[in-house]
Amino acid sequence: MPLLGRRSHVLARPLKDKTSEEPIYVIDFTREEFRSREEYNKRLELYRDSVWTCQCTGRNELTYQEAQHSEKKSRRQLNEHFPLYLEKPILQIVHHNTIPLDNLVDKCYHNIHSVYADGEPIELNIKITGKM
């Protein structure tokens, strides 16, 4: 969910007691419904302003749709390139940790490169000498 001013944005609640006679205005990409054209336009204008931030990357000055696209792309890349077997050891290091971010990144990096994780594939090369 894209951030608005570094805070999460709450979508409008679905309308209750809809009647077929009244016009309903729907924003396609959020599926928010409005009874008033004025509320609809106000919210749509907010989504078109470059005030949104991608929650995953921290990129800012995006429209809502750009931030949403950036989040989907970065989550897809993370799922494709980050091995599942490293998730638990990294989360154990990060959880409730209060050290500075740079030090935390270094600690995670060191752990990834010096400790084997459960389920991590290992390559073993055996060199046999004196073979006849």
Judgement on whether residues 73 and 99 belong to the same structural domain of the protein: no
pLDDT at 130 over 80: no
**How many domains does one find in the chain?**
2
Q: How far is CA 92 from the centre of its chain?
A: 19
Judgement on whether residues 18 and 65 belong to the same structural domain of the protein: yes
Judgement on whether residues 45 and 73 belong to the same structural domain of the protein: yes
**Distance from C-alpha of 16 to C-alpha of 21, rounded to nearest angstrom:** 14
Q: Strands, E, within 2-120: which ranges?
A: 3-4, 7-8, 25-27, 32-34, 52-53
Judgement on whether residues 115 and 71 belong to the same structural domain of the protein: no
φ and ψ at residue 24, rounded to 5 degrees: -115, 130
Residue 132 lies in a domain: no
Residue 129 lies in a domain: no
**Distance from C-alpha of 130 to C-alpha of 36, rounded to nearest angstrom:** 86
Judgement on whether residues 12 and 73 belong to the same structural domain of the protein: yes
**Distance from C-alpha of 37 to C-alpha of 25, rounded to nearest angstrom:** 7
Please give the average per-residue pLDDT across 56-71, as a whole number. Answer: 94
Judgement on whether residues 41 and 91 belong to the same structural domain of the protein: no
Judgement on whether residues 74 and 87 belong to the same structural domain of the protein: no
**Distance from C-alpha of 9 to C-alpha of 52, rounded to nearest angstrom:** 10
Judgement on whether residues 69 and 101 belong to the same structural domain of the protein: no
Between CA 64 and CA 54, with CA 24 as vertex, the angle to 5 degrees is 10
> Which residue range forms the structural domain that includes residue 26?
3-81
**Distance from C-alpha of 94 to C-alpha of 43, rounded to nearest angstrom:** 37
Q: For 47-57, how does the pLDDT look when each residue is reduced to its tens digit (9 = 90+)?
A: 999 999 999 99
Q: For 6-43, how does the pLDDT look when each residue is reduced to its tens digit (9 = 90+)?
A: 899 999 988 888 878 889 999 999 999 999 999 999 99
**Average pLDDT in the chain:** 91
| Residues ≥6 apart with Cβ < 8 Å to 100 | none
Reduce the DSSP state of residue 126 to 3 states and report it.
coil
Judgement on whether residues 27 and 42 belong to the same structural domain of the protein: yes
**Distance from C-alpha of 46 to C-alpha of 95, rounded to nearest angstrom:** 35
Q: What percent of the chain has pLDDT over 90?
A: 67
Judgement on whether residues 92 and 43 belong to the same structural domain of the protein: no
Judgement on whether residues 39 and 68 belong to the same structural domain of the protein: yes
This prediction's pTM = 0.71
Task: Say what the pLDDT of residue 132 is.
Answer: 57
Judgement on whether residues 22 and 41 belong to the same structural domain of the protein: yes
Residue 127 lies in a domain: no
Task: Say what the pLDDT of residue 19 is.
Answer: 79
Residue 55 lies in a domain: yes
